[in-house]
Each structure stands twice: as structure tokens, then as C-alpha cells.
Structure 1
Amino acid sequence: MNLLRAASTVSLLTLASRITGLARELLVATTFGASAWTDAFNVAFRIPNLLRRLFAEGAFSQAFVPILAESRERQGEEATRRLVDAVATVLGWALLVTCVLGVVAAPVLVYAIAAGLKQSPEGFEAAVVMTRWMFPYIGFMSLVALSAGILNTWKRFAVPAATPVLLNLAVIAAAWGLTPWLEAWGYPGIYALAAGVMLGGVLQLAVQVPALARIGMLPRLRSLRAAWGHDGVRRILLLMAPAVLGVAVAQVSLLINTQIASFLGEGRVSWLTYADRLMEFPTGLLGVALGVVLLPQLSAAQALNDSARYSALLDWGLRLVVLLALPSAVALLVFGLPLVSVLFHYGAFTDGDLRQTALALMGYGVGLVGLVAIKVLAPGFYARQDIRTPVRIAIVVLVLTQLMNLGFVPWLGHAGLALSIGVAALINATWLLVGLRRQGAYTPQPGWLRFLGQVVLATALLGGALAAAAHGLDWTALRQTPWARIGWMVACLGGAALLYFGALALTGVKLRQFARRA
């Protein structure tokens, strides 16, 4: 299996997810703008998303995939099937209890995340109602994470990478189809988005079933007592304990930022959310794709004690991070306003919303290389079943993030919150890299200095071209001619990409060298 081809497949499917996600956000922005209603939806959606990242895609995946890969390599598929059944049984019961508690405790959860919504009683009540509607989403997505871990370990990357598209399509369909009906019945139209989220969760889980059946790994529920006594379940839970803490640290940082933003004034939560959606584009295409492909391969190399392959896989991933994330970060910093204008600047989304979202995007863009690098470096620890080291680093970085908020927020407002996260991501990634080097898990292969020089030179040319394009056109005025604005953006980004890869080719970088077989 060619790892670059596998990562490219995940990236292309993630691209489809991000495009439909941006279409979803564009629909929300043009229909509802940045208001108390959108703040309410974003807060309500953040609660199940927080738990999804905390328990499903975060701690659970970090603990489950290494144990699963080790079981498959050392014990065979029959033993691995029993492990999957046991894990699915324990996870299913835990999710049932969690969802019931979440629906009951919705007012407390909303207040804990965004107490500032109390300034608008209607907004707070809407957030509570939508939290109750959407909380079961965590159950569906946790089971999707279980399925994705299995499929990725079997090198079936396509289905897990494609399923997020279904969420976006479901929300878009619900917004178009349900909003007029809800408003006609006297309900806020924003509630249609919550219904779309739940429909998306059901669809994402449904498409996993045939994919798991094809590889003979469709989970079968067992008795809870037998499942709880399985050795693999206990090992996963032991690994999850520090992993939950590590992911919780990142989510606590997000919660603190949401609280601060909710007190800064109406629309701040939404500006940060729109900017974050744009940031998910490069982090998803690059970081998520690399992490998905690398974690099972690193876990397999660790299970076989193949340290040379382990180090080479990390080196390959880090070179791709530099090659693709560095120019993307520069593009966000110098071309952020044109990007936001083309994607969101329509309907109820005002000129002020445009400028404030662009500022937040620039803050996030500072840390893009770090955010993507973490997706490569953290699996380097997870595959070794060392989750404590990333957790310790994350805790210190959380404290540093809040100290930076004290300095940045009074000066930059909501954009200071984004900048704190960006700088913290760079610190986190650097610390993880140093940790892997000190453990002897990663040894850089020859040629790094030359490679960095080539990429920096090409990135400087790209940045200069995009900066000239950003200042040479009045992107706000082009709102009146949206198709012309889209055409200009495509031409600018396409030309900058040609300039970048042309400069790399002239300096001797051969992209074929990144093709690597598992």
C-alpha cells in the first residue's frame, strides 16, 4: 500500500467534507448571519462535539487503535474480533447512560460553556433546546469512531473519511427544507440545523455497517460482564484515563475561550466559529489525513519492534507537514480576508462580520503548522502506548494559553483568543518533537536543512504573490459580483500554487520522493 496514495485518498475525501462543510456554514451565515441565534446553535453544537472529541475521536481512538493493531499483528483476526465485540458492548452501554444524562443536564451544560448567553434569554433557551435535540449525536459519533478505528487498521480509509460529508448534506437539506416550516409554525428557524445534525449522525453510522461486514468485523453485542472482563478492554481503559485528561485539556481551553467570547459581545462566538471552520480545511486535508494513515502504521511497526521503520514514518509525515502546511499558513495570514469574503460574505453576513472573522482566521493561521504537526507527532507517542507524555505537555500548554489570553484579549479582543490557540499549538508541537527525539523514537533523516531552505524560498514567493492580490483588489466591493469574486480567488490561489510548486521543482524538490509503501 502506497502511504502517499492512502493519505491523498483521505485528503480528497476530507476535501469533499470540507467543501460541503463550507457550503453548510455559508448557508448558515447568509440565512442567520452572526447573531444571538447562531451563537446559541454554535454553543449547543459545541457540547456534543466536545464530548465527541473528548471520548470518541480523541481519547478512545488514541487508546483503541494501538491495542487493535497490536492484537491483529500478534494474535490474529479471531482474537481481534472478540476484542472488537467486547469494546463495542462496553462502549454501547456507556453511551446510553451518557446521552440520557446529557439531555437532562442540558441547562447546566449550556451555562457552563457560555454563561454569557444569559444576556439574551431567548438565545440561552434556544441553546438548551438544541442541546437536548443534538446530545444523542455523541452516541452515533462514538460508534462511528469505533468503526473508523477498525476500518483504518484494516487499511480501509475511504468510508471513514467520506462519512462526514453526510452530516453536512443533512444539515444543508434540513436548513432548506425545515426552516420555512418551523418559522411558519412560530418556532425559530435555527432549530432546523439541530434536526439536520441528528439526521447526519444516523446516516454516518448507517454507512459503516456494510463496510464492517465486508471485512468480517461487524461488532456483536455480548454480555456486559463478559465484555468488561476482557483483557483488551481493561488495557484500553487504562490507556484512556490519561488520554481523556489530555484531550480534556484541549477542550477546557476551547471552553474557556468560548466563555470569554460570550462575554465580549454578540457575534464573537460566531466569528470565531466561522474562522475555525476555515481552519478545519487545511487541518483536515493535511493533519487529519496524515494522522489517520500514520497511527495504524506506527502501531504495527511498534508491535513488530521495527524502530527504523517507525522513525522513517515520522520523518515522512513531518516532511509533508512542512511541504504543505507552511505555505497554507502563509496563505491564511496574507489572504485571509479574500477567503472569508468569498466563502461567507453574503446575505446577513455584514462587512463588519467579514473583517472580524478574517482577524480571527489570521490568529488561528499563526499556529497552523503546529496544529498539523501535532497530528503527526502525537500518534508517535500513542503508537508506543505512551499517552502520559502528551498529556503533561498539554497541561502546561493550557496554562500558557490562558496566560497569553490575559495579554492578547485586552489588545485584540476575540482575535486574541485565536492567536493564543495558534501560538500554543506551535509550542505544543515543538515540545512533542523534542520529546520523541529524546526518547530515541525519531531520528531525522539526512537532507532536512536543504529541504527547509527550498520550502521557505518557495513559500516566500507564494506569500508575496498572495499579499499583492489581497491588497490589489477591493474584495469587499466585489460582493456585488460574487461570481467574479470567486473567479478572482480561484485565479489567485491557482497562480500562487503553480508558483510555489514551480519554485520547488526548480530548486530540486521531487514530489515522487514522498511516495512511500507501508
Structure 2
Amino acid sequence: MAKSKLFRSTMIVSSMTMLSRILGLVRDMVLMGVFGAGGLMDAFLVAFKIPNFLRRLFAEGAFSQAFVPVLSEYKERFTLQEVQILISRTSGALLMILSMLTVVVMLASPWVITLFAPGFSDDPEKFNTATELLRLTFPYLLFISMTAFAGSILQSYGRFAAPAVAPVLLNLSMIAGALIFAPMFDKPIMALGYAVAIAGLLQFFIQLPQLYMQKLLVKPKIDFQHEGVRRILKLMLPAIFGVSVTQINLLLNTVLASLMITGSVSWLYAAERLTELPLGLIGVAIGTVILPSLSTSEAKKDDVSFRKTLDWAARLIIVVGMPAACALFVLSDVLMQTLFMRGEFALRDANMSGFALRSMAGGILGFMLIKIFAPAFFARQDTKTPVKIGIITVIANMIFSLIFVGIFYYFKLPLHGGLALATTAASFVNAGLLYYLLHKRDLFRFGPQWKKLFAQFGISSAVMVAALYMMLPYFPTHDTQWHRVFALLLICAVGAIVYAVVLLASGFRPRQLKHG
């Protein structure tokens, strides 16, 4: 992909992702309003998180990071026919592996729920509901993995719109399940399980026309001896751990939260959803766009282009990530009260979720940097380094969880906040180690010009935080939801304007965000 298209491609992915994230917030508002933050909602979130975790682990994580560099190399070195064969053999292997995994997990769902949510064993209704829901939601992994496979192909050919808009279908399907179909079920929460599975299938189908137009829609064939498939599997196995450390840490939080008071899983989920808004808007978008570009630069042995792409991505990440983290910290309670406090989701639930968000907000910048630092290694087909760092990070997260939960227990603070804070600390361990090795190998470093940039971003964020704190006392907490929405939008708009004005006054110019 030409360098001149990087920013445009990022904007396409970012805008589509923003649409998906907004609908995702609407979806969560609907779910929390209809089902609340009680035991049934906890059961669904665990049943949904398991295939969703594996999706990020296998499909959008390890598989994409292993497949895209190999596909980029085939594009550069071989004919279209050879590329088609690679796609055929890879899709066959992926289908076989995922189909077997899906059958096994559906049959063993009670044991899987016991493993991922041991605290549910003390509540038979919650445990049985989670088991039934897992059997419905787990096929989503098969469908969404094939969606990610198709999306990786299209992104390698510079087609970003269809893969980016696919998640919209999941949100629409779950909203329809909650509002339209849930009342038709004896156990309304079961409608969400069917909605998830159907959404995965729809997301895959909308990729097919673009693949056909690119002459890349080929019949799957199983051939594990194909050279490209063997390389992908070899790269993928260690990458499973390295690329998805954040998700592993969040899943560990779910396991521990299931042992805490009812509602803890839902409160952490609500906080995670809001941190994903800026992460998806910029972090995921840039990470998606730069991987094909970095892979192409590596295939051509163009180190200068490789470094410039990483530097450009880091500038975009920090100019958005730093103020986003600060804003989410300051506005945590306000955001939860505005977006989720309705129906079965009470003020206590909003405040508990806000507490988790404050603990998790600081990690947004760390999460974002991981999204651009990890692809730098995968583009060079180096999966061992992120795996080693991933092991260190998961161990660090476990240690941080024990320390922070112990501290929160001592000071009589909500324990789920300690889990959220552990995730934040672990994200910076992960990002810091990745950067250290990139610097050591002369692949990327924050050069002299970054001292001024960090000062500009930091001062602008600090002034914005002061402005937000000045407006908080006027927020209408006990007013109608529409009044709260209007007040929140006004506060966010003022904060964004203050940040932009101070940033421009400090000498920063938009042209500094241009690639190269």
C-alpha cells in the first residue's frame, strides 16, 4: 500500500470503527437497561466473553499478525494464482481447526464455564444459564474468525471499508435481540445468545462480494503441508500469546470478578467498553492499517520507511490517547450515569462502573501503544519476542491483581477496582518492554523532537483536565437522561476545544501528523 494512502486508510477504518463503537455503546445501554447488572447479565457476559476472547486471540490477533506478512510476501514475489492457492489452503486449515474446537467446547460447556467463571458454581441458576448461553454463542468464534480471515485479505489489498463496517452488524443484531426477540423467550436473556451467532454469520457474508471482485474468493482446501500454511502456523502459535496479552489479562479479571459480589463482572464490562471507544477509534485503526505497510517495507528491506511509519503512528496515538485517558478518568462517573443509568441499571451500578473506569483509564495509552509496537515485530515475522514479553506481562498482571486487590480490601474500596488498576499497570509493562526492544534494535525510538511533542501534549491535556473539573459541579446527575446526554456532549465539546486551542497555541500544527 502506498504511503500516501496510509492516513486516508486510517480515517476510513477509524470512521467505520467509530460508527461501530457508537452503536456498541447504544447496544450496551440497551442491554444494561433491559437486563440490569445482575446474575443473568453476568452469565451472558461470561458466555459472550469466552468466544470473543478467542476471537481476539486467534482471529484478529495471532492469525492476522501471522497471515498478513506471509500474504504480503506472496503478493510481492509470486503470481495471483499462487496467492489464490495460499488463501485456499489457509482457509481450509482454519476451518478445520475452528470447527473441531467449536464442537469440543459446545460439548464441554459446563467444564468451560467452571474454568472461566468458578464463582458461578455457587449459584446454580447463573451457572446453568451461562452454560446454555455458551452453547449458543461459541459458534460465533467460527464465523467471526472466517470474517477476520477475509478482512485480512482485503486489508492487504488496500480494501478497509468492508472489514471495518462488519462489527456494526453484531451491535444491530444484539440490540434487536434485546428489544424485539427477548420478550418471546421464556428466559429472555437467551435471545442474546442467538443474536451473537447470527451476527457472526452475517459479518462473514458481507466480506464475500469484495473478495469475489478481487478474484480472491476461492474454495477452501485442507493441505497442512503447503509451505505458506506451515509458515503461518509456525508464526501463529507463539503469536497467540504475544498479541493478545491485554485480552488474557481482561479474561483473568473476569475469572477473579466471578468470585466477587454479584455485578462485578458487569461493572468491569461497562468500564472495558468505554476504554475501547478511543482504543478502537485510533489504536485498532492504526494498528490495522500499518501492519500491511510495515510488512511491505520489511519485504523490500526498506528500514527508513519502516521507522517513519512507526513514528507517524506513534504521533497519532499519543495526540489522541493522552487526552482520551485523562478525559475518561475525570468523567468516569458522569459517563456511566449518562450512558447506562436507566431501567435495571441503578445509580449504584453506574458509580461502581465509574470506579472501575477510573482505575482502567490510565491504561488506554498503554493499550494503544501496544497496538502499534507489536505489529512492528510481526511484520518482521518475529513472534518470539512479543511472546516472551507477553509471558512477563501476564505474570505482572497476576502480581498486580493480588497487590491491588489486597490494598483495596484493606482500605475497604470496591475490589473490582483493584483488578482494573492491575490491567492498567500491566499494559504499561507490556508497552514499555516492546518499546525497549524496538529502541535497542534500532527499529524505532522517541527522538529529540519528541521532547517538545510530549511537553505540548502534556500541557494541553493538563489544561483540558482543569476545564473538565470546573464544569463537573454543573452536571445534572438527577435530571432526565436526555438532559444528561446534552450536558455530557457539551462538556466533551468544551474539553476538546480547550485541548485543541492549547495544543495549537503551543506551536503544534496538524501537518505534523502527516506521514513521513
**Shorter-chain TM band:** over 0.9
Q: Quote how far apart the aligned CAs of 1:395 are.
A: 0.7
Structure 1 stretch displaced more, 288-297 or 238-247 = 238-247
C-alpha separation between the residues in 1 aligned to 2:488 and 2:392? 40
- Secondary structure of the corresponding residue to residue 345 of structure 1: coil
- Secondary structure of the corresponding residue to residue 207 of structure 2: helix
- Secondary structure of the corresponding residue to residue 282 of structure 2: helix
1:361 aligns with 2:354: no
Which residues of 2 match residues 456-475 of structure 1 at below 5 A? 456-470=458-472, 472-475=473-476
CA, structure 1 residues 73+446, in 2 after alignment: closer, same or farther (shift >3 Å)?
Answer: farther
1:259 aligns with 2:255: yes
1:91 aligns with 2:94: yes
- Secondary structure of the corresponding residue to residue 228 of structure 1: coil
C-alpha separation between the residues in 1 aligned to 2:247 and 2:321? 23
Amino acid at match of 1:47: I
Structure 2 residue aligned with 1:399, among 390, 395, 398? 395
- Secondary structure of the corresponding residue to residue 263 of structure 1: coil
Q: Quote how far apart the aligned CAs of 1:513 are.
A: 2.7
C-alpha separation between the residues in 1 aligned to 2:307 and 2:93? 34
TM score, norm. by length of structure 1: 0.96
Aligned to 1:173: 176
Provide Cα deviations, 1:356-406, integer angstroms capped at 9, x if missing partner. Answer: 100111111011100001001000111011111111111111111111111
Aligned to 1:208: 207
Aligned to 2:62: 59
- Runs (4+) of structure 1 exceeding 6 A deviation are none
Amino acid at match of 1:372: M
Amino acid at match of 2:125: E
C-alpha separation between the residues in 2 aligned to 1:158 and 1:399? 37
Q: Quote how far apart the aligned CAs of 1:120 are.
A: 1.6
1:379 aligns with 2:380: no
Provide Cα deviations, 1:310-369, integer angstroms capped at 9, x if missing partner. Answer: 001001111111100000000011111111111101111111101110011111101110
Amino acid at match of 2:439: R
CA, structure 1 residues 239+142, in 2 after alignment: closer, same or farther (shift >3 Å)?
Answer: same
Asked if the contact 1:312–1:445 (Cα under 8 Å) also holds between the matched residues in 2, the reply is no
Q: Quote how far apart the aligned CAs of 1:248 are.
A: 6.2
Aligned to 1:429: 431
- What is the root-mean-square deviation of aligned Cα atoms in Å? 1.3
Aligned to 2:14: 11
Aligned to 1:156: 159
Q: Quote how far apart the aligned CAs of 1:205 are.
A: 0.5
Amino acid at match of 2:497: L
Q: Quote how far apart the aligned CAs of 1:444 are.
A: 4.0
Provide Cα deviations, 1:256-313, integer angstroms capped at 9, x if missing partner. Answer: 3212111111000010011111111111001100100010000000000000000010
Which residues of 2 match residues 308-387 of structure 1 at below 5 A? 308-387=304-383
Q: Quote how far apart the aligned CAs of 1:510 are.
A: 1.2
Aligned to 2:105: 102
CA, structure 1 residues 451+266, in 2 after alignment: closer, same or farther (shift >3 Å)?
Answer: same
Q: Quote how far apart the aligned CAs of 1:249 are.
A: 4.9
- Secondary structure of the corresponding residue to residue 2 of structure 1: helix
Structure 1 stretch displaced more, 437-446 or 273-282 = 437-446
Asked if the contact 2:477–2:484 (Cα under 8 Å) also holds between the matched residues in 1, the reply is no
Asked if the contact 1:5–1:515 (Cα under 8 Å) also holds between the matched residues in 2, the reply is no
Aligned to 1:452: 454
Asked if the contact 2:290–2:309 (Cα under 8 Å) also holds between the matched residues in 1, the reply is yes
Amino acid at match of 1:340: M
Amino acid at match of 1:237: L
Q: Quote how far apart the aligned CAs of 1:451 are.
A: 1.2
1:138 aligns with 2:134: no
CA, structure 1 residues 154+83, in 2 after alignment: closer, same or farther (shift >3 Å)?
Answer: same
C-alpha separation between the residues in 2 aligned to 1:44 and 1:272? 15
C-alpha separation between the residues in 1 aligned to 2:291 and 2:184? 45
Asked if the contact 1:15–1:285 (Cα under 8 Å) also holds between the matched residues in 2, the reply is yes
Asked if the contact 2:475–2:484 (Cα under 8 Å) also holds between the matched residues in 1, the reply is no
Q: How many residues align?
A: 507
Amino acid at match of 2:349: D
CA, structure 1 residues 344+302, in 2 after alignment: closer, same or farther (shift >3 Å)?
Answer: same
Aligned to 1:115: 118
Q: Unaligned regions of 5+ residues in structure 2, if any? A: none
Q: Quote how far apart the aligned CAs of 1:229 are.
A: 1.7
C-alpha separation between the residues in 2 aligned to 1:168 and 1:52? 16
C-alpha separation between the residues in 2 aligned to 1:443 and 1:353? 42
Asked if the contact 1:159–1:208 (Cα under 8 Å) also holds between the matched residues in 2, the reply is yes
1:508 aligns with 2:499: no
Aligned to 1:189: 188
Amino acid at match of 1:456: G
Q: Quote how far apart the aligned CAs of 1:446 are.
A: 4.8
C-alpha separation between the residues in 2 aligned to 1:76 and 1:515? 33
Q: Unaligned regions of 5+ residues in structure 1, if any? A: none
C-alpha separation between the residues in 2 aligned to 1:247 and 1:505? 35
C-alpha separation between the residues in 2 aligned to 1:254 and 1:108? 20
C-alpha separation between the residues in 1 aligned to 2:281 and 2:324? 11
Asked if the contact 1:2–1:515 (Cα under 8 Å) also holds between the matched residues in 2, the reply is no
Amino acid at match of 2:363: G
C-alpha separation between the residues in 1 aligned to 2:98 and 2:144? 10
C-alpha separation between the residues in 1 aligned to 2:331 and 2:247? 28
Asked if the contact 1:462–1:499 (Cα under 8 Å) also holds between the matched residues in 2, the reply is yes
Provide Cα deviations, 1:487-513, integer angstroms capped at 9, x if missing partner. Answer: 111111011111111111112211123
C-alpha separation between the residues in 2 aligned to 1:117 and 1:273? 17
- Secondary structure of the corresponding residue to residue 347 of structure 1: coil
Amino acid at match of 1:262: S
1:483 aligns with 2:485: no
C-alpha separation between the residues in 2 aligned to 1:431 and 1:456? 22
Aligned to 1:217: 216
Provide Cα deviations, 1:172-194, integer angstroms capped at 9, x if missing partner. Answer: 11111111111xxxx21111111
C-alpha separation between the residues in 1 aligned to 2:151 and 2:476? 41
Amino acid at match of 1:88: S
Q: Quote how far apart the aligned CAs of 1:250 are.
A: 4.4
Structure 2 residue aligned with 1:78, among 81, 84, 88? 81
Aligned to 2:36: 33
Structure 2 residue aligned with 1:284, among 280, 286, 311? 280
